[in-house]
C-alpha cells in the first residue's frame, strides 16, 4: 500500500527544514523507506535540501485551520505524523489521534518559565497532550529530559531520546582565504563569529565591550534577526571597518561551511528561562562551531562544563571574563581547534546518536508493508 510509505512532519517555519535535528529526522525516515511531506506556514519553497522524496506543503497553526482540515481524508495517506515544538505539536498530535496513526515529537523548544510564550491555555494544553501521546520524544541534550518531563507531565516510562543540534555529516569547510577576502578581513586577523539569533541575551554587551577595547579584533555577524535600525547602527559604530555584517540569511549548510573562516564562535545564553539555562548540545551554534573545529566562548552554566573539560573553549559570566577568554583562545588556538574536533567526536557524537534515532524510529514504526 503506497500510503504506508508516507510521513508528515510539521515544522514551526520552513527555514527549519534543513536544520540539524530536522535533517536527522527526515534522513532517518528516508533511510527507513518513507517519503516525507514537510508542513509549515506558507511553505511554497522549492529549494528544500533533499531529493524528490521530500516536498513542502502549507499549514497553519491555529484552531480555525485545524477544524477545517482535521477530518480530511488526505491524512489517511500518511503512516506516521511528527512535529517540532511548540505550535506544530498541537496540529500533528491531533491529526495522529483522529486518524489513528503513530506520532513522535521533536521537542527542541521547551516553552516554560519566562519563555512560555503567548499561546492560549487550551492551545498549550493541546501541545502538551500531543507530547504525552507520542510514542517517542526527542530532545537535544540529556539535561533537557527532566525539563521535558516536567513541562509535559510525562510519565516516567515515556520513551525520550537525545539527538543534538548537530549534523551527523558536517559540510566541507569553505575556502578560508576566499571568505576573508569577501569579508574584508586580513588573513591573519583574530576573528570572532556570531551566528543565528543575536540580541541582548546573546552576549552582545560583552562582545562589543571587548571589540571596542581590542582594536586587533575582527567580527563576523551572521545573525538572522537584526532589525534594519540595528543594522544601520552596527554599520556605523566605531571600528565598523573591522566588522562584516552578512546581508542575507545563510542556509544551515552555508553557515556551517563558513564557520572555520573564523577563530572563535559565541554560544552565550543570558535568558534566565529554563530552556536557555539547560542548553548543552541542544545549541545549534555550539555544535556547529565545535564540529567545524572552531573553539567557543559560552555562558557559564552546568550544561556547558564539558567545553572546559575538553579545553575547546571558555565559559564566561562577565565582560572581563570574556576578554580573558579571547586572550586564552588566541594564545592556544591551534590546540583548541584540535580539541574542538575531538569534543565533537567524543562528546556530541552526532553520527552515533543519529543511528540510535534511526533505529528507535524503525522499531517504533515496524517494517513497511
Residue pLDDT, tens place only, 232-258: 888 888 888 999 999 988 999 999 999
Please check the confidence at residue 79 and state whether its pLDDT lies above 90. yes
Q: Which residue has the cell 521535558?
A: 148
CATH architecture of 176-348: 3-Layer(aba) Sandwich (3.40)
Q: What is the pLDDT of residue 239?
A: 84
Q: Say if residue 3's pLDDT is above 60.
A: no
Contact between residue 252 and residue 110 where contact means Cβ atoms under 8 Å apart: no
Mean pLDDT of 207-231: 90
- For residue 4, the model assigns a pLDDT of 52
Distance CA(99)–CA(83), nearest Å, equals: 16
How many angstroms separate the first and last alpha carbons of the chain? 7
CATH 3.40.50.2000-classified regions of the chain: 2-164+350-365, 176-348
This prediction's pTM: 0.94
Over the chain, what is the mean pLDDT? 94
Q: Give the CATH class of 2-164+350-365.
A: alpha beta
% of the chain at pLDDT higher than 90? 84
Give pLDDT tens digits for 143-159: 999 999 999 999 888 99
Q: How far apart are CA 98 and CA 263, in angstroms?
A: 51
pLDDT of residue 368: 66
For residue 287, what is its C-alpha cell?
555544535
Q: For 122-127, what is the mean pLDDT? A: 93
Does residue 327 register a pLDDT over 80?
A: yes
pLDDT at 44 over 70: no
At residue 231 the predicted structure's pLDDT band, cuts being 50, 70 and 90, is confident
Chain center to CA of 279: 11
Give mean pLDDT, residues 166-180. 96
Name which of 200, 194, 193, 223 is nearest 270 in CA terms. Answer: 200
Q: What is the pLDDT of residue 2?
A: 43
Mean pLDDT value across residues 219-224? 91
Nearest to 340, CA basis, from 303, 297, 283, 291 = 291
**pLDDT for the residue numbered 45:** 58
Q: Is the pLDDT of residue 49 over 70?
A: yes
**Residue found under cell 557559564:** 300
Amino acid at each position: 500500500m503506497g500510503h504506508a510509505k508516507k510521513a508528515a512532519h510539521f515544522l514551526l517555519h520552513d527555514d527549519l527544514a534543513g536544520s540539524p535535528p530536522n535533517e536527522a529526522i527526515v534522513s532517518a525516515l528516508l533511510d527507513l523507506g518513507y517519503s516525507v511531506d514537510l508542513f509549515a506556514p506558507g511553505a511554497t519553497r522549492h529549494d528544500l535540501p533533499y531529493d524528490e522524496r521530500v516536498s513542502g506543503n502549507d499549514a497553519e497553526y491555529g484552531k480555525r485551520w485545524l477544524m477545517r482540515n482535521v477530518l480530511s481524508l488526505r491524512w489517511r495517506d500518511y503512516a506516521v505524523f511528527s512535529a517540532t515544538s511548540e505550535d506544530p505539536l498541537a496540529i500533528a498530535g491531533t491529526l495522529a489521534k483522529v486518524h489513528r496513526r503513530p506520532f513522535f515529537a521533536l521537542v527542541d523548544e521547551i516553552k516554560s518559565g519566562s519563555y512560555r510564550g503567548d499561546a492560549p491555555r487550551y492551545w498549550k494544553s493541546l501541545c502538551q497532550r500531543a507530547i504525552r501521546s507520542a510514542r517517542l520524544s526527542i530532545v537535544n541534550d540529556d539535561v533537557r529530559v527532566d525539563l521535558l518531563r516536567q513541562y509535559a507531565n510525562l510519565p516516567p516510562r515515556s520513551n525520550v531520546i537525545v539527538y543534538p543540534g548537530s549534523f551527523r555529516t558536517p559540510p566541507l569547510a569553505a575556502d578560508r582565504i576566499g571568505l576573508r577576502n569577501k569579508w574584508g578581513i586580513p588573513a591573519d586577523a583574530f576573528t570572532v563569529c556570531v551566528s543565528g539569533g543575536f540580541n541582548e541575551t546573546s552576549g552582545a554587551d560583552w562582545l562589543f565591550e571587548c571589540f571596542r577595547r581590542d582594536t586587533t579584533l575582527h567580527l563576523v555577524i551572521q545573525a538572522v534577526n537584526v532589525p534594519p535600525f540595528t543594522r544601520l547602527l552596527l554599520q556605523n559604530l566605531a571600528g565598523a571597518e573591522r566588522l562584516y555584517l552578512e546581508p542575507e540569511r545563510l542556509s544551515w549548510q552555508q553557515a556551517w561551511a563558513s564557520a572555520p573562516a573564523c577563530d572563535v564562535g559565541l554560544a552565550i545564553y543570558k535568558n534566565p528561562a529554563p530552556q536557555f539555562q539547560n542548553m548543552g548540545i541542544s545549541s545549534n551554534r555550539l555544535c556547529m562551531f565545535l564540529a567545524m573545529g572552531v573553539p567557543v566562548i559560552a555562558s557559564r552554566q552546568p550544561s556547558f562544563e564539558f567545553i572546559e573539560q575538553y579545553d575547546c573553549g571558555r565559559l564566561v559570566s562577565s565582560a572581563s571574563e570574556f576578554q580573558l577568554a579571547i586572550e586564552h583562545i588566541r594564545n592556544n588556538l591551534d590546540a583548541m581547534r584540535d580539541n574542538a574536533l575531538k569534543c565533537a567526536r567524543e562528546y556530541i557524537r552526532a553520527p552515533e546518536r543519529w543511528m540510535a534515532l534511526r533505529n528507535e524510529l524503525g522499531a517504533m514504526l515496524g517494517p513497511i508493508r
